Amino acid sequence: MAAWRAYIDKFHALVEKTLAHHGKKFIAGDKLTIADFVMASHIGNYVNNTASPFWDEGSSSAAQHANLQRYMKDIYVALPYLTSRGAISPV
């Protein structure tokens, strides 16, 4: 789990840096792109899925990044299914 936490901290820091750098709503700008669907998968499976064994680490890492938190709110508006799908077991 330590290796996962190290990876996820680096990944979230990179996302945070990207969002801070360009100041746009989504990963690649102001419009939803394939990059946002990739991030939606990450958020839905590892950050907000309480049934995932990686949830604790993913959610606590994401909580440390203000731009990522804002981005996640924007993704929930753009892709409302993420808020209604519920927890999904990885097995």
Take residue 4 and report the two structure tokens written for it.
């996962």
- The model's pLDDT over 37-64, given as tens digits with 9 standing for 90+, comes to 999 999 999 999 999 999 999 999 999 9
More confident residue, 57 or 1: 57
pTM, two decimal places: 0.89
pLDDT of residue 71: 97
Q: What does the CA dihedral 32, 38, 39, 43 come to, rounded to 10 degrees?
A: 130
pLDDT of residue 86: 79
More confident residue, 3 or 85: 3
**Overall average pLDDT of the 17-23 stretch:** 96
